[in-house]
Amino acid sequence: MLFVGIDERLSIKDEILLTIRRHVQNGPFRRESGGVLIGRELIEGNLVVVEHMTSPMPRDRRGRHFFDRRDASHVVFYNELNKDECIYAYIGEWHTHPERSPEPSVKDLRNWSRIRGEDFARSVQYHAIAGTYEIGFWAFGPADKQVSLMARRKWGDLGL
Amino acid sequence: MGLQAEFEKFDEKIRLSDSDLEDLRTKRDVLLGKLRDSDDLPVFKEFSQGSYAMHLGVKPTDDREFDIDVALRFQVDKEEADPFEYKQTIYDILKHHTEYGATIKNPCVTVTYKKDGEAAYHVDLVSYAYDDHLDADGQMYIAKGKTGEDSYWEAADPVKLVDYINDAIEEGEKREQFRRVIRYLKQWKMRKFASDGHGEPPSIGITLIAADHFTFHKDNDLQAVIDVSKAIQDMFFTADNDENGDPVYDIQLGLPNSLRFEPGNDVFEKMSEHQKTGFKKKVDKLVRDLDAVAKEPDLAEQCRKLSKIFGNDFSIPSVSETSKKQVPFIPATSSSG
Ligand SMILES: [Zn+2]
């Protein structure tokens, strides 16, 4: 899918969306899932291509209403991608919500704000929350606490 | 480098250049010398026709041969000439010229050469006569047929056809794009159709449709090739339904009315309905695949899709060529709720 972000466009590869969709909390006992979104900024066309991601790892803490990314494997994966040449940027986090149309929780906003403060590479992060019916992408930044919904799509409309 | 530069790089790789044909032209000149020296043939003027003369040649893929088309305009009136006699004479003169010999085909006599033990090139010699050979601008006729019995003279206008294509689009960047687009489509055709039989649509058909429907798109060969592909798609019409009730398609196209070819001609006449339906399906897929390229925002991915359509000569830039360098950063942890 393609959407317009803050002064740039984002292309999310189908494989990324398909992986996230597999983790959707569509059963009463499914726990939250999450990971990071990784992409390349193209030299031409003002485009960010999100084509890598991580998924829940054994040492992450997961419950019906929380996902705490704690396993070091997420960072290891990112560093491995950039081993030869550093062209991959951290784009943001993704996680699931046990609701149809997701909205960021207070905990999410606090988390995103902290990340915005830490990220010295990019001034805006894009975070995804996957509900059972829809997925949303929120931009956080460039100003502190500036959060905006950039795209919201029904799973069925993505042509996956 | 953007997509247009990738298209132009691709064209550089596939287009037939002067040097590719140097060898073949030398061979052609030897053949023509032999024919000229013969007392059994009337005087003729040669003329280069075919895709190379129209600047539309592409290098053959491994399973195909380089070819060159030469028109022999015999300075005779067709009323006084037998349509098979000259072809037979050409054949007799050249049949031992190469190991592969010569073959009489419906529109020409073909002389094949090998390179490293395999057929590598051929020269097609096409015979013409005039209504009145003293009127060089008068009606010409091509000698058709494979035997003395089935041969006949058919009205043709080969010189004007080459001019028609060469002058179809105004000179400069528009004409250059027009020629590139046809070369792309010929490359596509070569890859998607078997070289044997008539399953492959004739290049002149695609070339004429392009000449009539080409629209210039500055620095955008992708859009230009999409437009022509859609124009080809629009030429098909439903002729019938097969036993399963699926549509059977037809496509017909006459040579331009302004030229003096046999009335009622159809450049697709040699294709069966089954082959035309196969052609239609391939064009439908081409249009779908090109539309997907147009929708794809990522250059490297566009090129990957294009290399599936046009082959490996369409190169795919590496991610490091097309991506900005990054300062590595990733938050060590995250807490979502
Ligand atoms: Zn949340």
What is the C-alpha separation between B23 and B15, in angstroms, rounded? 16
H helix or E strand, kind and range, residue B102: strand B102-104
Mean pLDDT of chain A: 96
Partners of B154 in the beta sheet?
B142
pLDDT level of residue B117 (50, 70, 90 thresholds): low
Rounded to 10 deg, the angle between the B203-213 and B221-235 helix axes is: 110
Model confidence band, residue B20 (pLDDT cutoffs 50, 70, 90): confident
Residue type, B305: K
Q: CB distance B336–A86 less than 8 Å?
A: no
| Token code pair at residue B280 | 């239609």
| pLDDT for A88 beyond 70 | yes
Q: Is the pLDDT of residue A69 over 70?
A: yes
Give the per-residue pLDDT at A153.
Answer: 97
Position B4, amino acid: Q
Q: Is the separation of the CB atoms in A66 and A29 below 8 Å?
A: no
Name the region of A28 (left: φ>0; alpha: ψ -120 to 50; beta: rest): alpha
**DSSP β-ladder status, A34-41 and A9-12:** unpaired
pLDDT (0 to 100) of residue A30: 94
Set of chain A residues whose Cβ sits within 8 Å of the Cβ of B301: 49
- pLDDT, tens digit, for every residue of B104-114? 999 999 998 88
Distance from CA of A87 to the nearest CA of B (A): 5
Listing DSSP states for B268-279 in one string gives TTTS-HHHHHHH
Q: What is the pLDDT of residue B97?
A: 84
Distances (CA, A) of B232 to B120, B193, B254, B283, B329: 31, 16, 14, 8, 51
Residue B272 CA from chain centroid, whole number = 19
Compute the Cα dihedral for B38, B44, B45, B48 and give only its sign: negative
Spell out which residues of chain A touch residue B327, defining contact as CB-CB under 8 Å.
86, 120-121
pLDDT tens digit sequence for A92-132:
999 999 999 999 999 999 999 999 999 999 999 999 999 99
Pairwise CA distance, residues A125 & A123, whole Å: 7
Q: Find the catalytic residue in A32, A44, A93, A99.
A: A32
Global confidence as pTM? 0.87
pLDDT tens for residues B190-225? 999 987 767 899 999 999 999 999 999 999 999 999
At residue B25, the pLDDT reads 87
Quote the percentage of chain B above a pLDDT of 70. Answer: 99
Which residue from A minimizes the CA distance to B331? A115
Beta partners for B144? B152
Q: What is the percentage of chain B residues whose pLDDT exceeds 90? A: 80
- Quick check: B119 pLDDT over 70? no
Condensed to tens digits (0 to 9), the pLDDT of residues A1-34 reads: 999 999 999 999 999 999 999 999 998 899 999 9
pLDDT tens, residue by residue, B256-270: 999 999 999 999 999
Q: A 88-117 residues with CB below 8 A of B?
A: 88-90, 93, 95, 105-108, 111, 114-115
What structural domains does chain B harbor? Answer: 16-156 (3.30.460.90), 168-321 (no CATH)
CB atoms within 10 A of CB B168: 18
Find, in chain A, the residue whose alpha carbon is nearest to that of B335: A68
Catalytic-residue membership of A32: yes
Which three-class secondary structure string do you get for chain A?
A: CEEECCCCEEEECHHHHHHHHHCCCCCCCCCCCEEEEEEEEECCCCEEEEEEECCCCCCCEEECCEEEECCCHHHHHHHHHCCCCCCCEEEEEEEECCCCCCCCCHHHHHHHHHHHHHCCCCCCEEEEEECCCEEEEEEECCCCCCEEEEEEEEHHHCCC
Residues of chain A with Cβ-Cβ distance to B5 below 8 Å are: none
pLDDT at position B147: 93
Asked if the Cβ–Cβ distance from B326 to A34 is below 8 Å, we say no
Average pLDDT over residues B318-331: 94
Query: Coil, helix or strand for B124?
Result: strand
Among B325, B330, B336, whose Cβ lies nearest the Cβ of A66? B336
A123: left (phi over 0), alpha (psi -120 to 50) or beta: alpha
pLDDT of residue A106: 97
To the nearest whole angstrom, how far is the Cα of A109 from the nearest Cα of chain B? 9
Give the mean model confidence (pLDDT) for residues B305-323: 95
When computed from its CA atoms, the radius of gyration of chain B, rounded to whole angstroms, is 24
Name the residue of chain B whose CA is nearest to A66's CA. Answer: B337
* Cα A128 to ligand 1 centre (Å): 9
pLDDT reported for residue B191: 93
pLDDT above 80 (res B116): no
Q: Which residue has the higher pLDDT, B27 or A39?
A: A39
Q: Does A79 touch chain B (CB under 8 A)?
A: yes
CB B51 within 8 A of CB B166: no
Continuous segment of H or E residues that includes residue B127: strand B118-130
Phi-psi region of A55 (alpha: psi -120 to 50; beta: other; left: phi over 0): beta
pLDDT tens digits, B274-288: 999 999 999 999 999
Sorted by where each starts, the structural domains of chain A and their CATH numbers stand as 2-157 (3.40.140.10)
Q: Does A57 touch chain B (CB under 8 A)?
A: no
Which of A120-150 are b and which e, b meaning 16 or more Cβ less than 10 Å from the residue's Cβ?
A: eebebbbbbbbbbebbbbbbbbeeeeebeeb
Instruction: Judge: B326–A82 Cβ closer than 8 Å, yes or no.
Output: yes
Residues with CB under 5 A from ligand 1 (ion): A 105, 108; B 336
